[in-house]
Amino acid sequence: MTSKMTDLVPATVLELRKSAGTPARRWLLIVSGVVGLLSAGLATFLGPAQDHTFSMISFYTQSAISLPMPFVSVLLITQDFGRRMPTTLASGSSRDVIIAAKLLASMIIAIAAAAYGVLISLLGTTAAVPAAEIGRWDAIGMIILGSVLVQLIAQLSGAGWALLLGSTAIAIIADVVVPLGLWIVTGAIPGLQDIQQWLAPFASAQHLLSGHMDAQHWAQVGVIVLVWVIALNLTGIRRVHRLSGSVGR
């Protein structure tokens, strides 16, 4: 256990370096930042004054960042754990350590993305014209916490799809189409709207970034984490272990 923990730190640092280690990944990080900045700018200078609150600007900014940023984790995962499992890993660490390092790196990237989104949302709220007269800075602490949770759920969900599917293209498509499709379908059918609140990540993002959370909203976030983070990643890790066993035989 101690050896694995010792290996985890340098392995995580390596994965963080890999996140910007190719031109495609650097461009992906840049695009995520630009999309967030543009969204914050549009939310800041367009729309009525009542929408120029930290909550509303954060919603548009964090939602925009959370769309492309998880693709970074997809690329990190599929580099070593694609459909064809390598017999040895380039870093020399065990598969479990590498998986843990990739997930930990994904969490660090998510927190950094959230912090960036919070910063430009703060600047946008300050610069917004006309300024909101009511609720401009309401629930700012809860919204910052919600921003971190939104990015963590999005990033780890992307990692989960990559572990499960083992294909960059298919994982990226699934990461966008499945939650978006679930949101649209459950929202369009009256009898499924309650399900939307419990299973669609976008619904939880709305609540988290509103700053107004009650016991039911937190329970819904818990279900989202269970389904889109824990279950997805555990199933994906099981696939990796199964393929690793078949390669070793």
Instruction: Give the per-residue pLDDT at 5.
Output: 65
Give the residue among 101, 125, 159 at the shortest CA–CA distance from 51. Answer: 125
Question: How would you label 64-100 residue by residue, b for 16+ Cβ within 10 Å and e otherwise?
Answer: bbbbbbbbbbbbbbbbbbbeebeeeeebebebebbbb
Instruction: Give the per-residue pLDDT at 178.
Output: 96
Contact, 228 vs 157, CB < 8 A?
Answer: yes
Instruction: Give the per-residue pLDDT at 48.
Output: 87
Phi, psi of 145 (to 5 degrees): -60, -45
Domain ranges of the chain: 2-248
**Residue 232 reports pLDDT greater than 50:** yes
The stretch 149-165 carries a mean pLDDT of: 97
Instruction: Give the per-residue pLDDT at 248.
Output: 47
- Per-residue pLDDT tens for 131-155? 888 889 999 999 999 999 999 999 9
pTM: 0.92
